[in-house]
Structure 1
Amino acid sequence: MASILISSSEKYSGKSSLCTGIGMILRNKGYSVGYMKPIGNMLVDVNGVLSDEDAEQMRRVFDLEDEPKCITPILLTDNLAHDALAGVDKHFDKTLVNAFSAVSKDRDVVLIEGTGGIGGGAMYGLSDPQVSSILGTKMLLVTRYDSVYAVDRILCDIELIHDPEMLAGVILNEVDESQMSYVCELVVPFLEERGIKVIGVLPKDSTLRSVPISEIVEDLHAEVLAGSEHLEDLVDHYLVGAMEVNAAIKYFRRTPDSIVITGGDRSDIQMAAIEAHVKGLVLTGNLQPSAAVLGSADEAGIPVIIVRGDTMSTIGRMEGLIGRARFRKEHKLGRMVDLIENNVDVDGLLSTIGL
């Protein structure tokens, strides 16, 4: 039985989407695939039981019947943090080994998803390298290439992996088209000269980043006030409307496939966003907009939704939604598989982990 722990330099680097895509490729090759996220850090309530959001997505995609407590045996609750700070020994190594034994039964390969960044969980003795060591598996490191500083992040991450043999390789994710030649001709050779094997360079893809406005409504528990016939329009950026109105119009027009977050009392910003033909408006603070705003939005076919939370908390939720490859739509999963097959040395990865 083979296994690989997919880690990342930071949150929202594409770790979950790569885990899903690699799993689908393995299934298409005829392998029986198991999945485990040892430490749940994105807690959700599922029928009255606490679980992890990523793990629940994987359960649906791969039709997993393993018990949730085996797929995600440790949940990062406030009580867990308190016990760790108080020095209470929870014997997590035994918990992980027992859960791994359960999810790997009758499986050819198990994909293990790390927790946030590579060092997440270190206070519990559960950073990704520590989990990899406990389970005796290699690591695949995923880094979002947002700038050349991604190289710094990778080099720092490597310092956390004390055994060089533990690292199966690195994938540079979401590389902008304008940076692709620079990354392939300079960044990849730089890393490989230092013994860091780069097994894939994935381009930024708008299909994976985008979400329909209907998902934003669901995630934010929002109320739709206008433009309900356009809730399936796709959004791949969010903008915050907190500036002077003339600057706002120019700002909004530069990124047309965006949804604008602004206060429910900012009718000037709301009208500017409608004039700029943005994809939608999220109004915060549970403040109702004017009839003029709603009428203009309906006429322009722009959804307007209202949320109870303030602007900062709404931004936080949006950061976790836009840019993450949630596979509620089949075309997203197919696109992720295509990207991996065309840009990652899958056979080399499989050989490294013993498949």
Structure 2
Amino acid sequence: MKKIIFASLVPNVGKTSLTIALSKNTKKKIAYMKPLGDRMRYSHKKLWDYDADLIQSTLKMEVEPQDMTLGFEHSKLRYMYDEYTLKEKLNNQIEEFEKNHDVLIIEGANYLTHGASIGMSALRLAKLTEAELVIILRGNADTIMDELTFIKYNIVETGVNFKGVILNQIHDMEDIKSEEVCDTIKKLGIKVFGIIPYESNLKTLLLKQIADDLLATPLCAEHHVYKYIKNIYIGSMSLNEVMKKEYLSKKDKLLIVSGDRSDIIVASIETEASGIVLTNNIIPPNNIIANANEKNIPLLLTREDTFTVAKKIDKMEALLFKSDEEKFNIFAKLVKQHVDIKALLE
């Protein structure tokens, strides 16, 4: 069984998405594990990693999500494993996967140094499991060249089984394929398995994620949060100004507004907003809630002020959900077109 570790220098480069896309583009049976979790979920007295749960569901793996991850907190893992017991635990899991799978993808944590103090960084895991290390990069041409140079002199020369990189979420494909970048790659001798262009549809936030990340309380239509949000507006101005700017005529919109702005809330409901985030912990009148519920428009109540909520949403990185079949297919097509899958998996 081939073993690959997907690692990254920074968070949110698409390691989990790439695993799903590869599974859709090969006949090989892919297994997955994420030793150090970084997106903890808790239910029914069980802890698991969000990405592991997504992969388990998408790849229809028999192993439970909580068994794909050794833990989350450094303080606990530090006393649970030393180098010997960690290697033994990892190899036991790998032996189980070997029985029914052709490829095992081990996802490193958020960034390259995460877990280093407990022996669970991506580099250390690569040595412990004797897996091939593939690093996912994103950014502009200058960033990519900096990171490739860093990899050459700080990773390749450490003796880890480094195989190459995949460039993902690339905005300017011409720039990244310029003579300067190509010469740098050739000079460094680093294998590039693929260059995947940026696709805006993959970065669209789901209302469900916004609700979860804000820890918002749904006042109505809580089962209608699986909607993509493409336009986000703050209802801080007068209704006349809002109508003049035609904000409410946009589709797939989310309004962030204080719960006492009944005029804006009613107008948003009438123009079929995808959802409304109510700030300042102010609940609107019951008739407004009933109207929103009738039209399947979630009203999400938060304690924080409008500015703070808007700032949090602006910083959110779109996560994949089990219902995101459209996004899965879009990215799978991009990977098929732009990545040498055969070279990567064989």
TM-score category (smaller protein): 0.7 to 0.9
Where does residue 55 of structure 1 map in the other structure?
52
Determine if the alignment matches structure 1 residue 108 to structure 2 residue 102: yes
Residue among 151, 168, 172 paired with 1:173: 168
Q: How does 1:234-253 map to 2 (within 5 A)?
A: 234-236=228-230, 241=234
CA contact under 8 A between 1:17 and 1:326: conserved in structure 2?
no
- Name the SS for the 1:169 alignment partner: strand
Distance, in Å, in 2 between the alignment partners of 1:277 and 1:145 is 36
Contact 1:261/1:315, CA 8 A, preserved across alignment: no
- 1:195 corresponds to which letter in structure 2? G
Q: How does 1:293-308 map to 2 (within 5 A)?
A: 304-308=299-303
Q: Which of the numbers 279, 283, 299 marks the counterpart of 1:284?
A: 279
- Check conservation: 2:114, 2:120, Cα contact below 8 A: yes
For the 8 Å contact 1:43–1:75, the answer to whether it is kept is no
Map of 1:147-226 to 2, 5 A cutoff? 148-161=142-155, 162-163=157-158, 166-176=161-171, 179-185=172-178, 186-217=180-211, 220=214, 222-224=216-218
Amino acid of the structure 2 residue aligned with 1:324: L
CA displacement 1:100-157 (0-9 Å, x = unmatched)? 2223333211111110112211111211111011110111111222573343344334
The structure-2 alpha-carbon separation of the partners of 1:93 and 1:216, relative to structure 1 and needing over 3 Å to count, comes to: same
Shift of 1:232: 5.0
Secondary structure in 2 matching 1:75: coil
Q: Deviations over 1:264-322 (max 9, x none)?
A: 56789979999999854423342235899989999x997542234667588557755x4
Q: Is the 8 A contact 1:238 1:318 kept in 2?
A: no
Instruction: Give the gaps of 5 or more residues in structure 2.
Output: none
Provide the C-alpha distance between the structure 2 equivalents of 1:151 and 1:242, rounded to a whole number of angstroms: 42
- Name the structure 1 match of 2:344: 349
Matched position secondary structure for 1:41: coil
Tell me the CA shift for residue 3 of structure 1: 1.3
**C-alpha deviation, 1:11, in angstroms:** 1.2
DSSP-derived class of the 1:40 partner: coil
Deviation (angstroms), 1:343: 0.9
SS in 1 for 2:150: helix
Q: Which amino acid aligns with 2:282?
A: L
Q: Secondary structure at the match of 2:32?
A: strand
- In structure 2, what is the equivalent of residue 44 of structure 1? 41
Stretch moving more, 58-67 or 141-150: 141-150
Residue 258 of structure 1 contacts residue 279 of structure 1 at CA under 8 Å; is this kept in 2? yes
Q: Distance in 1 between matches of 2:211 and 2:101?
A: 38
Counterpart code for 1:332 = K
Q: Is the 8 A contact 1:230 1:303 kept in 2?
A: yes
Q: Which whole-Å CA distance do the structure 2 matches of 1:24 and 1:13 have between them?
A: 19
**Match of 2:73?**
77
Contact 2:33 2:52 in 1 (8 A): yes
Counterpart CA distance in 2 for 1:181 and 1:219 is 36
Please give the alpha-carbon distance, in whole angstroms, between the structure 2 residues aligned to 1:204 and 1:25.
19
Residue 41 of structure 1 and its aligned partner are, at CA, apart by 1.5
On the 8 A contact 1:22/1:337 being kept in 2, the answer is yes
Corresponding residue for residue 89 of structure 2: 95
Residue 23 of structure 1 contacts residue 111 of structure 1 at CA under 8 Å; is this kept in 2? no
Structure 1 residues 201-246: Cα deviation after superposition (integer angstroms, max 9, x where no partner) = 112223322244245445655345589898554225767x598888
Q: Which amino acid letter does the alignment assign opposite residue 107 of structure 1?
A: H
Aligned partner of 1:331 among 290, 311, 326: 326
Give the structure 2 partner of residue 130 of structure 1: 124
2:30 matched residue in structure 1: 33
Q: Give SS of 1:18's match.
A: helix
Q: Which residue of 2 aligns with 1:145?
A: 139
State how far apart, in whole Å, the 2-side matches of 1:266 and 1:314 are.
16
Partner Cα separation in structure 1 for residue 265 and residue 326 of structure 2 = 32
- % same residue: 26
Partner Cα distance (1:315, 1:52) in 2? 26
**Structure 1: which 5+ runs fail to align?**
none
CA contact (8 A) 1:129 1:160 kept: no
Match of 2:8?
8
Whether the aligned pair in 2 keeps the contact of 1:6 and 1:140 (CA below 8 Å) is: yes
How many residue pairs were aligned?
Answer: 338
Shift of 1:180: 1.7
Seen in structure 2, the aligned counterparts of structure 1 residues 81 and 101 have a Cα distance that, compared at 3 Å, is closer
